[in-house]
Amino acid sequence: MSKRVRVRFAPSPTGGLHLGGVRTVLYNYLFAKKHGGDFLVRIEDTDQSRYVPGAEEYIFDCLKWCGLDPDESVQHGGNYGPYRQSERKSSYRQYAEQLVKDGHAYYAFDTPEELEKMRQDFRTEQNPSPQYDHTIRMKMRNSLTLTADETEKMLRDGKFVTRIKMPAGETVSFMDMIRGEVHFDTSLVDDKVLLKADGMPTYHLAVVVDDHLMQISHAFRGEEWLSSAPVHILLWKYLFGLGNMPQWAHFPLILGPNGKLSKRDGSKYGFPVFAMNWTDPKSGELTEGFKEKGFLPGAFINLLALLGWNDGTEQEIFSKEELIEKFSIERVHSGGAKFDYEKAKWFNHEWIKRWPVRDLSYQVKPLLEENGLWVPDDNLLNKVIELVKDRCTFLPDFIQQSSFFFKSPDSWDLDAVKPNWNPDKRIFFENFATRLAAISTWESVTLENEFKNLAGEKNIKPGELQLPFRIMLVGGKFGPPVFHIAELLGKEETISRIEKAVSLF
Ligand code: GLU
């Protein structure tokens, strides 16, 4: 029987969660849901020097906002906990010791000064940054070069790390679900530290041990981890057997305007790179998020899904349910996926247009209220949203596009009206206000007919009157069709805005 599908997202809580991280979550999530499996989040916090307070909660907040909640995690519980590696500290040492015993790892006692000296002494033109590897290990202070007694003594002192003993001249291969067979020459890989002096594992040991203990069936992660794969494959081989190893896939890099997309690109080119606003607790620097920019979560995951994957058709708009149904790892590309902000905006615009008005109103109402606009009745709000949503790319666009429905203008684009304003037009609007007062069916079509009839009677082209009318109702040269605006404003308000503006123009 094949293994139950169990996949994991394994973030280190070191800062904001960028596009690439959320896409890794998404592909894991879709794969798990498609195969009726489990998606878990494991917090990889073994590098205490990089730990950033608040980052863990922030990651879960982002997943919640995206609608990608895990089945198991620190916050969701599960049978394979703890889900925070620092709390699993005691479980790693035995594996490191097993590796030493079997001759696949060794203890190293080199001080930071000695390591620095090694980097200086072995530096050559061909090899400007020498690594602790098979060519150098026998010249360093470790359990391979010291006598058993000396080693014993050093171990008692407790200041040592455990390093993997990378074999020289072997080829390690594995089958990547996206890239096919991948090969590595082990001679080129250094003897990575597995267990640190403080007893904490490094990422390399912890990821393998935990993927085993948590029964991970598929390990999917970003391409930046591909170069670590030979170390992980060998650890699997030495500790648990290659037959038990998860299937691997490394997702393509997300590219910005200049190579790999970076946080800096966001501020440089003015687009968000994190899922949600993130404030660095040390520097206080704020990096804008897609959420706060006004993206809908559905649009965000839709655009991320398409950054490196497609279903083989021209379809671009997918609901989460459709993505679950159609997603396949084999259709993820291996080449870098270019992030195009204009396209991201297009996705959001399409989602806003298609999103049910009632759902939009839950998002828009608080935005309006935060901006001092009082929404007297939800029914009106829904009608307004229906009318203006095609004009909105981001949620906050609703503020500008609809504020005049809830508050009469306090400034008017006079420059647009004044040059062509004349007494005939003034009389037209005075008469129009009187006619409106007598209208019984307050609908845009009736209003438009009334407007056109009166213009005909006065011998003025209706086209010349529409702009002033718009500015009377809205204040500026924007918004949906003007008679629709008047319909929603209602009789009293429309007349009062006309009268007020006429006295000003
Ligand atoms: N802890 C690694 C990270 O921060 C996870 C890599 C993996 O998924 O194996 O991205």
Per-residue tens of pLDDT for the chain, all 505 residues: 478 999 999 999 999 999 999 999 999 999 999 999 999 999 999 998 888 999 999 999 999 999 999 999 999 999 999 999 999 999 999 999 999 999 999 999 999 999 999 999 999 999 999 999 999 999 999 999 999 999 999 999 999 999 999 999 999 999 999 999 999 999 999 999 999 999 999 999 999 999 999 999 999 999 999 999 999 999 999 999 999 999 999 999 999 988 888 888 888 888 999 999 999 999 999 999 999 999 999 999 999 999 999 999 999 999 999 999 999 999 999 999 999 999 999 999 999 999 999 999 999 999 999 999 999 899 999 999 999 999 999 999 999 999 999 999 999 999 999 999 999 999 999 999 999 999 999 999 999 999 999 999 999 999 999 999 999 999 999 999 999 999 999 999 999 999 999 999 8
Q: Tokens 């503006």 label which residue?
A: 501
Q: Which atom of ligand 1 is nearest to the CA of 211?
A: 9
Could you tell me where in the chain the CATH 3.90.800.10 domains are found?
A: 92-206
Residue 251's H or E segment, with its range, is strand 247-251
**Predicted local distance difference test score (pLDDT) of residue 264:** 85
CA angle, corner 394, sides to 390 and 396, nearest 5? 105
**Predicted local distance difference test score (pLDDT) of residue 505:** 86
> Cα(131) to centroid of ligand 1, in Å?
22
**Residues near ligand 1 with C-beta < 6 Å?**
10-12, 44, 203, 207, 221, 225
Determine the Cα–Cα distance for residues 135 and 151; give it in Å rounded to an integer.
21
Which residues on adjacent β-strands are paired with residue 250? 221
Continuous H helices in 251-335: 263-269, 290-293, 297-305, 320-326
Burial class (CB in 10 A: 0-12, 13-18, 19+), 229: buried
What 3-state DSSP class applies to 84?
A: strand
The CATH code of domain 92-206 reads 3.90.800.10
Could you tell me where in the chain the CATH 1.10.10.350 domains are found?
A: 362-504
> Cα(303) to centroid of ligand 1, in Å?
22
Its pTM stands at 0.92
CA angle, corner 385, sides to 381 and 391, nearest 5? 150
**Predicted local distance difference test score (pLDDT) of residue 30:** 98
Residues 6+ apart with CB under 8 A from 144: 106, 137, 138, 165
What 3-state DSSP class applies to 477?
A: coil
Q: Which of 34, 89, 237, 263 is catalytic?
A: 263
Q: Would you call 263 a catalytic residue per the annotation?
A: yes
Q: Which atom of ligand 1 is nearest to the CA of 44?
A: 1
Q: Answer yes or no: are the C-beta atoms of 433 and 495 closer than 8 Å.
A: yes
Return the CATH fold of 362-504: Arc Repressor Mutant, subunit A (1.10.10)
> Cα(137) to centroid of ligand 1, in Å?
27
